[in-house]
Amino acid sequence: MQPIGADVLAHVHQLYGAQSRHIDEGRAAGWAATFTADGEFRSPSYPEPAIGTTALVEFAERFAAADRDAGARTRHVITNLVAEPAGPGALTVHGYLQIVRTAAGESRLLRMTTFTDELVADGGTWRVRRREVRRDDAR
């Protein structure tokens, strides 16, 4: 549909699979490293954006701590990825993100969200420069 090569799309799919695993398994530094050093994470679920590696690491650490404190396990389920060219070495990626939480033996869809990311080729690796999350329950 879009003139994105298979190699680029393969990298994009790998990036999103790996990124969710990083935060869901509590690897805060690994998750932050899927963003550029000045990467931005913006979501209406949180009062402020996380901007830059230090803030992104702290964000992921708080996420893991919240799960631990609640005896819960939260997963970021990524689907419906679409990548579009956005200039040299840049992509816009749209996707769906389901937040699935398991607690007290029950798994449920906590939240349906979508996102738009700006990706840049950063030393041969695609990274997120800016993420904007939208919540379907916040129209």
The 3-class SS string of 37-84 reads EEEEEECCCCCCCEECHHHHHHHHHHHHHHHHHHCEEEEEEEEEEEEE
Window 50 to 109, contacts with a second copy (CB under 8 A) = 73, 75-83, 94-96, 98, 100, 102, 105-109
Distance between CA atoms of residues 97 and 104, nearest Å: 23
Distance between CA atoms of residues 127 and 106, nearest Å: 34
The region of 17-25, 42-50, 55-63 touching a second copy under the rule CB under 8 A is 17-25
Nearest distance in Å: CB 46, a second copy:
18
Helix (H, G, I), strand (E, B) or coil at 139: coil
Nearest distance in Å: CB 15, a second copy:
5
How many residues belong to the site for a second copy (CB under 8 A)? 48
> Which residues contribute to the site for a second copy (CB under 8 A)?
1-2, 4-7, 9-11, 13-18, 20-21, 34, 73, 75-83, 94-96, 98, 100, 102, 105-112, 114, 125-126, 136-137, 139
